[in-house]
Structure 1
């Protein structure tokens, strides 16, 4: 006999009546995030050729759930917290109003070239990175993507930056604005000794080469780095490395969003 589950049941008063107001809110977030993660995973399986991995999906859901819950509940650790809140490291008693941060991509100043980079990590030892170059008029100058054998997401982020600087040197672009959504990468520029040992040699070589150009480095939230994110995802899903001299069709919509300086909002 088929099981018919009405989605509304998960939000009904009868189902949530015994929960406190904080737990009820947490429950709604859990259900919504599970639905969103399931839909995202479905799209990856169908369009990116990804194989389902239960451990990866579980980690994806937990990170998404915690990110959503932290918008409302403050970080707090206590044995007296309900298990669901303790697991997330949040307090049911210290709620905070969400902050809305407008995020948009901006073109570089005259004579500068901006490159946005990102890394993608799909499963153990499978990752990708990508980057896109644009000028002060937001014109497309080139983009790259590559699949890499790496043990973590930060490795892919670092390799993306190294490739961006390499391309800039080959193209003889003297004023380069590097933009990344990885705060760790920026820390590695300021304090190279913090970088994992496995990346230290290539990173120090990268910093040495970067001295040949005028390099400006800034952080952007991922909501403003969607084109680079798409390239990194493409790199992880396809073999080898590729350089585009013409804007690829799968980037057109996101590229036009940046071109029009459309604002996205980040919730904190």
Structure 2
């Protein structure tokens, strides 16, 4: 209702100004009815390409329909999501965080077995950068750590859709992270695995580790017993299989 009301006022002022200029300089005249029709048409065209996320009240909707406006509203639908353990081998979840974008950034990740036990986790501070750079570097570091400690990775998850699609289309998303992106691609090809997308609610441990790296500004590797206290809650929740609700 607020969007359409504001748009109508702006169009009203614009149409009156055009009518005034046309009458003064071109000696042409537009009736009030024609101005009204033009405004209604402009609003109808504008709201056809807009999908609103919040539905207005029944009274406001009735007023809009009286003027011939039919806004499209797509309400968010709740979806139950949870971390899915690997069927075999080791699962790698990674995430990047940035305070400012660009700003201080860091990455985190964890390696877990089918039982949900954390075999190894890390929180690395990367200095100044953006969130995409942190995501790519976290992926490369997670894969290198897994190879260094002899873990066989069978699945990799990230909540960055841009990062996942970059490997699907085999196109580096940014020149700033090209070196680490090519390294990660090489390691993924050696392991014969792909990066799959995961919702943030199903990537809580890696997300917490990445935020911890930004706050601590350190580079640390953890086992289950030494993992930061702030990360133990998400580890327990994922291992227990408790779901989270996400609005789509």
Q: CA deviation at 1:120?
A: 0.5
The 3-state SS of whatever aligns with 2:242 is coil
Cα distance between partner residues in 1 of 2:139 and 2:195: 10
Please say if residues 22 and 92 of structure 1, whose CA atoms lie closer than 8 Å, have aligned partners that are also in contact. no
The 3-state SS of whatever aligns with 1:117 is strand
RMSD, aligned CA: 2.3
| TM-score, normalised with respect to structure 2 | 0.68
- Cα 1:22/1:259, change in 2 over 3 Å: farther
User: Matches of residues 61-100 of structure 1 in structure 2 within 5 Å?
Assistant: 71-72=53-54, 93-100=71-78
The 3-state SS of whatever aligns with 1:193 is coil
Q: CA deviation at 1:71?
A: 4.1
Which residue in 2 is equivalent to 1:121? 98
Which residue in 2 is equivalent to 1:135? 113
Please say if residues 113 and 119 of structure 2, whose CA atoms lie closer than 8 Å, have aligned partners that are also in contact. yes
Please say if residues 126 and 150 of structure 1, whose CA atoms lie closer than 8 Å, have aligned partners that are also in contact. yes
Please say if residues 123 and 210 of structure 2, whose CA atoms lie closer than 8 Å, have aligned partners that are also in contact. yes
- Cα 1:107/1:70, change in 2 over 3 Å: farther
- 1:132-171 per-residue CA deviation (whole Å, 9 max, x = no partner) reads 1100111110110011124311111111111111111112
Q: Which runs of 4+ in 1 moved over 6 A?
A: none
Match of 1:102 among 73, 80, 90: 80
Q: CA deviation at 1:244?
A: 0.3
Larger Rg belongs to: 2
Match of 2:231 among 245, 251, 258: 251
| TM-score, normalised with respect to structure 1 | 0.63
The 3-state SS of whatever aligns with 2:71 is strand
Which residue in 2 is equivalent to 1:267? 247
Match of 2:203 among 217, 225, 236: 225
**Structure 2 unmatched ranges of 5 or more:** 5-50, 56-68
**For this pair of structures, how many residues does the alignment match?**
186
Cα distance between partner residues in 1 of 2:141 and 2:107: 9
**Structure 1 unmatched ranges of 5 or more:** 1-19, 24-68, 74-90
